[in-house]
Amino acid sequence: MGKKVKKESEPPSKDVFDPLPIESKKAATVVLMLNSPEEEVLVKACEAIHKFAEKGDENRSSLLGLGAVEPLSHLISHEDKLVRRNAFMALGVMAANSDVKRLLKKLDAIPSIIRKLSPEEDVVVHEFATLCLASLSVDFSCKVQISDQEGLEPLIQLLSSPDPDVKKNSVETICNLVQDLPSRVAVRELNGIPPLLELLRSEFPVIQQLSLRTLVIVTTDTDTRATFREEQGFDRLLEFLCNKEFSDLHVEALQVLSNCLEDRDSLQLIHETGGLQRLLQFITTPTLLDIQTNAVKAISRVAQSSENRKLLHEQDIERSLVELLSLEGDSLRTATCQAVAAMSLHLASKDAFRDLDGIRAVVQLLGSEGGEVREAAAQALSSLTSSNQLNSYAVYEAEGDEGLVQQLHDVIPGAVAHAAAVLTNMAEQEVLRCSILSHGAMAALLEPLQSADTHTLVRATQALAALACDAEGRTWIKYLNAGGLVPLVQLLRSNHKEVRRNACWAISVCANDEPTAVEMCKLGALDLLQEINSSANRRNKFSEIALQRLLDSNLSLKYSLTNTLAPTDITVDGFYDPGQARSGQRVLTLEDLSKQPVNQRRPVIAINAKPLDTPLLAVCIKRTGKVAVSFTLSSCSKGKSKGRKEDEKLRDEDESKPQQEVAMVTEKPWMLPYDAAFHALVTEATKTILPLHVESEQYSALARLVSEVMGGAVEVDRQHDFLWELHLSELRYELQSNIIPIGQIRKGTYYHRALLYKVLADRIGVSCSLVRGEYNRVWNEVLLSVGTPHYPGCQPQPRAHLVDLIHQPGRLLRANTPQAKQYQTI
């Protein structure tokens, strides 16, 4: 009974697998373990992958190829904290690989990462989650996604994390995000400025540097700069700048300061706190080149407003800048010249730079090897000489005009544009203008006139106009005729308003030289200007002036196109009346007209009282057409004699040289025939009209002379019997030319008589105009003082009168009266 029963142990459950320690040396095996349902396996697998990925980018690429990224992107949201932490550690390190970043973007991992930035998460998760975002935020689309997922706010909160790695990764991500404008605004709105300023006190330089770089970007926003002031940002910044231990980061700090100093309130604040003096110390105290350069850039920013320039002038900033011009370093010299340019907008500063011999120092920099230095030096001189003749003369005394002319050949468009601007400023003074021209400025401007840079084109055309403003300058226009007029005229086609406007002004100035005006007309300037002036959008005052100047230089064209010659339009030998030009019709030159066969069109009336013994021009042209050599002959007979000698000499040279050699031939240019009858009329008018002392008598006597020459008076109802057309046809066939000298016309109607009256009046100094109406009606208008003056001792108001040349020769008809209107229409 008392028998003991031995208790048997329970057999192990069939569902339980005994623990199996696994050691693997293959990454592929570990990657497979990422799909395990067991937390302990996942923790160890993630840990192993983290260590493997830390060894180099090649390992990260290997893990990517084995498919580790996708399971890791899921494990960062695992419910187990340890699994999440290790998964983030592995993924954060792997995200440095560019291919991994692309896959994470494709897997849409960013929302999951941002969700783990919450305060309750482990600090290690924060560290590697921000590390992952720092890598991803380099990509533009990832930046957008981080912003859209409201990732900026938790990142700003993590700037106050006790862990330095979390701070570093967070501020690096923010620095990448604020490259886009919306994120800059968001940083301010999310109160991100205070924690960024706090990071300046970090013991880790990399965190300080990233914070400064972020502040450099966000302070480009005006409202952010206001917040920066409110949060005592200047105090923190000056505290940082005064610490010599941070000297390697002073460059970025000065960039932040430079941005903030654009605001007047900021400058006033920093001035009150002694920050401006500290900034000036960076300029004057020898230190790192980059620090001095950025300090000068900050001064340039400050000098953008007139109030700030006045404040800087009171601090004697000009002396410091002049001293910097003598230091080595292209970046420093460039920044200093730009600061000089900015400060020179202040009138007192312009004088100060001249008194300190700063202009000579800037001129010397025109010869620098660095293109940016040359450009900045020319920019400084442009500002210094603007509306300041003393400074322009100082540039001349420093022999800067020659260097500036040479700089017109520079490859940097900005250097060319600024050099042209300085020359424009200097050309206001005649002595300086002559010196500039003597250095070949006109020829040097040819290249800038063909530039693709609009700013260069504007400045080049302005310089051309300034240098050609008087007779001395226009003697150099021959260089333009060698090729510069073509691009100048083509600039009228420019769609850039300022280029087109300045081209019009340059053409109007050049048109004061008659041969140049004729050449520009041949190149199509007249047609282009007419087209511009017909457009309400493209027309400007300069285009109207240019057109008028071109016409004033070619009165034949002017009369044909406008049907009017004013009393100030004085005709000379070579003037002709080709008839009224239709819209768009090209007016041919006399030489072109002379080459046409005799036709039935309206004859061309020409004026030439130049005697036959006037020196002729013989042009010797090489048969290749490459070179032309000209000489003058004193008379026709002498010209023929010398021409024969030259021909014989050339023939001898031809015989002694191979046939391929170029020979010289003498060709006489076409010349308008001498009109002896007109010459005699000018002499007669001088003898009979000028002795008369009463204006009205002069007008009437000249009218009677013209009428007598042109067939006498013609009654209104007998005009059809006056066969002037037959007479002109006979002259045309007698001369075998469509060009008829005006002195040979013995029967003339309205337009012949009015033209003769005008050209004779111009020769003897009698003032009158020439007006063409409709139906071949042409008349002359004169100003005549008649009636009683309004005030004692004053002359009566001059009134316009028409001169009757055909019906009652010598009669003066008051303009706009029925008699005058009848004369204009019958």
Whether the per-residue pLDDT at 261 is higher than 80: the answer is no
**What confidence score (pLDDT) does residue 788 get?**
61
Tens of pLDDT, residues 540-580: 999 999 999 999 888 998 999 889 999 999 999 999 999 88
583 pLDDT exceeds 70?
Answer: no
CA distance 511 to 550: 6
Q: What is the mean pLDDT of residues 199-214?
A: 93
Distance CA 517, CA 550 (A): 6
Evaluate if residue 584 carries a pLDDT over 70.
no
Q: What is the pLDDT of residues 90-100, one digit of tens each?
A: 888 999 988 88
Tell me what percent of the chain is helix, strand and coil, each rounded to the nearest 5: 60, 5, 30
Is the pLDDT at 656 greater than 90? The verdict is no
**Cβ atoms 687, 698 nearer than 8 A:** no
Which of 740, 715, 717, 716 shows the shortest CA–CA distance to 727? 740
Pairing of strands 564-565, 769-772: antiparallel
Model confidence band, residue 614 (pLDDT cutoffs 50, 70, 90): very low
φ, ψ for residue 55, nearest 5 deg: -75, -10
Token code pair at residue 636:
């026709």
> Residue 744, CB half-sphere, CA atoms under 13 Å: how many?
21
Give me the pLDDT at residue 14, please: 57
Instruction: Please compute the mean of the pLDDT values over residues 216-221 and round it to a whole number.
Output: 91
pLDDT of residue 465 exceeding 70, the answer is yes
Transcribe 758-797 into DSSP letters.
HHHHHHHT---EEEE-STT-EEEEEEEE-S--SSTTSPPP
Arithmetic mean of pLDDT, 683-698: 92
Mean of pLDDT values over 222-238: 86
Q: What is the pLDDT of residues 758-815, one digit of tens each?
A: 999 999 999 999 999 988 789 999 998 876 665 565 667 788 999 999 999 999 999 9
pLDDT digits 0-9 by tens, 696-743 = 999 999 999 999 999 999 988 888 888 888 999 999 889 999 999 999
DSSP 581-604: PPTTPPPPPHHHHHTSPP-SSPPE
| pLDDT exceeds 70 at position 627 | no
Tens digits of per-residue pLDDT, 10-42? 555 556 555 545 666 678 888 888 888 888 888
pLDDT level of residue 667 (50, 70, 90 thresholds): low
Residue 646 near residue 666 (C-beta atoms within 8 A)? yes
pLDDT of residue 484: 74
| Residue 4, pLDDT score | 41
Tokens at 484, concatenated = 């510069």
What residues contact 676, with CB distance under 8 A and at least 6 apart?
Answer: 743
Cα distances (angstroms) measured from residue 631 to each of 627, 666, 667, 672, 794: 14, 11, 12, 19, 56
pLDDT band at 655 (very low <50, low <70, confident <90, very high): very low
Looking at residue 639, its pLDDT comes to 36
DSSP 161: -
CA dihedral (571, 576, 580, 583) positive or negative: negative
How far is residue 411 from each of residues 415, 462, 491, measured CA to CA in Å? 8, 20, 21
Q: Residue 331: is its pLDDT beyond 80?
A: yes
**DSSP-assigned beta bridge partners for residue 565:** 770
Q: What is the pTM of this model?
A: 0.72
